[in-house]
Amino acid sequence: MAEFTMDLNDEQKGVRDWLHGFAADVIRPAAAEWDEREETPWPVIQEAAKIGIYSLDFYAQQFFDPTGLGIPMAMEELFWGDAGIALSIVGTGLAAVGVLANGTEEQIGTWIPQMYGDANDVKVAAFCSSEPDAGSDVASMRTRAVYDAAKDEWVLNGTKTWATNGGIANVHVVVAVVDPELGSKGHASFIVPPNTPGLSQGQKFKKHGIRASHTAEVVLEDVRVPGSCLLGGKDKLDERMARARERAKAGGGERVKNAAMATFEASRPAVGAMAVGTARAAYEEALEYARTRTQFGRPIIDNQGVAFQLADMRTQIDAARLLVWRASWMATTGKKFESAEGSMSKLFASETAKKVTGQAIQILGGNGFTREYPVERMHRDAAIYTIFEGTSEIQRLVIARTLSGLPIR
């Protein structure tokens, strides 16, 4: 088992510096343009693919880093460059995690490569869980999957919302209700292959932040997928449903997590690392501005009111990173989240990003409120971290339930 250390090894430092160079030289110069355009930055994704950043191999290498720090380190550097573009680069990863968490080895080998394409023909994938009336409340999900035994096909109907890459993806991973009577325990995940009839893009959202990342509704109308597209397979699903029904009859709670929750739980520290990257970027902008901006004959950092803010910002960023690293290390080394450490990392890092980016605007004053300086965009981007993949309120609920052992509502 890998021992926890605060020091990155030489290989990790090399990867970090490589990613930082790409973020500084490719992502940052393009950030303002694609934020204004509110379009998927395909040229930047292709550049990432050409050098191996946007690829299954790269994320696999980081995922299997024995210290657990590969993914959070990569997320921090890319999102330091720009959150919207970075999310376009890494958004496919959520769908990939959905397959890794629930799929068979054959499904993993078949579908994940198709999510990325190659350097000459890049593709993206989408994970579709949220619905208009079912965000944090996954038990209210209405999208249905009905098995057609005669054709060994599943028929999907419903509408998904807030889907990153929704409608433009080559592969969609869709969470649907198989047995409504079991609530969230009656859900399963399905692969919708490229060009499947019945799947279409609904509304594309015009967002406050992360505007270079495509977010849209996904409409499913009698979408038929082969039985082999049920992640994990039907035998495994039938066994899980049978256990859930037996526990329901006995008055007990089903301990098996549903497909959507398994995906979100695995990705929470990574989202925390994204938030750390955005917060760090805003802090560095504010620090440089405070060193060079002169008022009343001296740099504004010479005033305690500014200097103390910067001290707090840096302290909070480092604390957030340590929580993310702890959770990532625990997940990789098989240590149980006995105090909801994954949720802790996401909660603290996301709240830190909102606070730090707001402080950065304050330090820059009127300049910070304009689009001539990047902290305005960073502040808009940071708002998403306390919302997606589990709001801050949901993270607090998870932590409170874990600590108390009670079904706090």
Question: What are the catalytic residues?
Answer: 389
Query: By the 8 A CB rule, do 373 and 361 touch?
Result: no
**Tokens 């573009």 sit at which residue?**
85
Concatenating the DSSP letter of every residue in 267-302 gives HHHHHHHHHHHHHHHHHHHHHHHHHH-EETTEEGGG
- φ, ψ of residue 253 in degrees (nearest 5): -90, 145
Name the residue among 264, 256, 183, 167 with its Cα closest to residue 216.
167
Q: Which helix (H) or strand (E) holds 311?
A: helix 304-332
Using CA atoms, how far apart are residues 218 and 221, in angstroms rounded to an integer?
A: 10
What is the rounded CA–CA span in Å between residue 206 and residue 214? 9
Cβ-count burial 233-257 (b if 16+ within 10 Å, e if not): ebeebeebbeebbebeeeeeebeee
- C-alpha span between 9 and 153 (Å, rounded): 49
Residue written as tokens 């579709």? 128
| Token pair 């592969």: residue | 171
Q: Which two tokens stand for residue 246?
A: 């037996």
Q: Which of 349, 367, 388 is nearest to 208 (CA)?
A: 388
